[in-house]
Structure 1
Amino acid sequence: MDSPKTDTHTWDKVNSWSEELEFLKSIIAKTELIETTKWGGCVYVLDNKNVLGIGGFKNYFTIWFFNGVFLKDEKKVLVNAQEGVTKSLRQWRFTSKEEVEETLVLDYIHEAIQNEKQGKIIKPPKAELRIEIPEIFQKELDFNPNLADAFLKFSPYKQKEFLEYIVEAKREETKRSRLEKIKPMILENIGLNDKYR
């Protein structure tokens, strides 16, 4: 999850925008969001999920929408604070209280709440779990089709655990003894670390 603190602009700890931020708070108070504090700033949540936050920076104050990438943004007011870094967070920056149109701000907030209720979030991509099958193990799989079938029934994650267990051994005889140890486990559909789970 992107943290507002990662903004390249200076996070205003002194906060010269207190009146403007109080005004934003008064608008947000008209919604079902719950105010909390995270990363040293004011964040609003729905069912403990971050929806938006507000804060002051050196040259502006802002509302940031944690999943702002899903907002229609018909008025084109949202910016990506760190292009190429933040995937879903979007900011709406203001330089004066007069710029804050309450009804428009509420429209954006209500849309963000609806998006949260619909579960619209960017999920981080799953890490690739592929690892090369060591030759010693591949020969065993080729020789023993039952072992090969049993191995393929494991999830990629559990397959990777077995493969790493063999690969991490430095000496060939250690690799061989580890292979002998895991063969019955694989055939009995027991993951390498199942007893610890």
Structure 2
Amino acid sequence: MASGVKSTKIDPYFNKLKQWKEEFELLRSIVLDCEVTEDFKWMHPCYTHDNKNIVLIHGFKEYCALLFHKGALLKDPHGILIQQTENVQAARQLRFTSASQIEELQLIIKSYIDEAIEIEKAGLKVALKKHEDYAVPEELHNKFEEIPELKTAFEGLTPGRQRGYIYYISSAKQAKTREARIEKYIPHILAGKGMDDDLEDNA
């Protein structure tokens, strides 16, 4: 197996790290022991094979991680891959909280990276859900019946904004909470806004 191609232009990024410095350096050396090319994307070290994204190193307050871009296709025999949220379809994380943990798992980490490269070589793709595969919650359907212009406004939103509302409303376990969430965002939907958009932008 060929070793990776290191990029010295990323050295300053690693040198300036305050948190997870030792862990990032260790992850970098492990990843570069595989058949990848080092790059810098989305403000993070990213490792590619034939210009296809394989894995990315990133850090959070409580852990650092390797993010596999097509992690959903990995076999994960050790059951250690993490789906960040239920809405993340393709990517999966390996999370770490210490350099010793990374040292312990380095052979497993390499095997996951090697498998991710093979997946890319084979041209495999994650079967992503289509927009129409997302079910509109019953409470939202009922509100559409009650306020037809709400349905029209909702259907006029971008697919991403529609999904945002569907995720948010559906994630509430109780019908009462789902209904309250719908009520809260009726003005946004009627204004053609997403959940994070400011209504005052219409002024």
Q: 2:115 is matched with which residue?
A: 111
For 1:65-114, what per-residue CA distance to the aligned partner results, in whole angstroms no more than 9, with x for missing partners? 0000011111111010121x210100000001111121111111111111
> Structure 2 matches for 1:51-66, cutoff 5 A?
51-66=54-69
For 1:1-59, what per-residue CA distance to the aligned partner results, in whole angstroms no more than 9, with x for missing partners? xxxxxxxxxxxx96500111100111111111001111100110111111111111110
- SS at the partner of 1:25? helix
Judged with a 3 Å threshold, the aligned counterparts in structure 2 of structure 1 residues 46 and 73 are, in CA distance, closer, same or farther, namely same
- Cα distance in 2 for partners of 1:92, 1:53 equals 10
> Structure 2 matches for 1:80-91, cutoff 5 A?
80-83=83-86, 85-91=87-93
In angstroms, what is the RMSD of aligned CA positions?
1.9
- Cα distance in 2 for partners of 1:90, 1:126 equals 20
Q: 1:94 is matched with which residue?
A: 96
- SS at the partner of 2:66? strand
1:27 matched to 2:30? The reply is yes
Unaligned runs of 5+ in 1: 1-12, 129-197
Q: Is the 8 A contact 2:90 2:128 kept in 1?
A: no
- Size of the aligned set, in residue pairs, is 115
- Cα distance in 1 for partners of 2:30, 2:44 equals 17
- SS at the partner of 1:27? helix
Identical residues among aligned pairs (%): 39
TM-score by length of 1: 0.55
Q: 1:120 is matched with which residue?
A: 124
1:72 alignment partner AA: K
- Cα distance in 2 for partners of 1:106, 1:56 equals 19
Superposed displacement of residue 125, structure 1: 5.6
Q: 1:73 aligns with which of 59, 71, 76?
A: 76
Q: 2:44 is matched with which residue?
A: 41
- SS at the partner of 2:39? strand
TM-score by length of 2: 0.53
Question: Higher helix share goes to which structure?
Answer: 2
**Over 6 Å off, 4+ runs:** none
Unaligned runs of 5+ in 2: 1-15, 133-203
- Cα distance in 2 for partners of 1:27, 1:126 equals 36
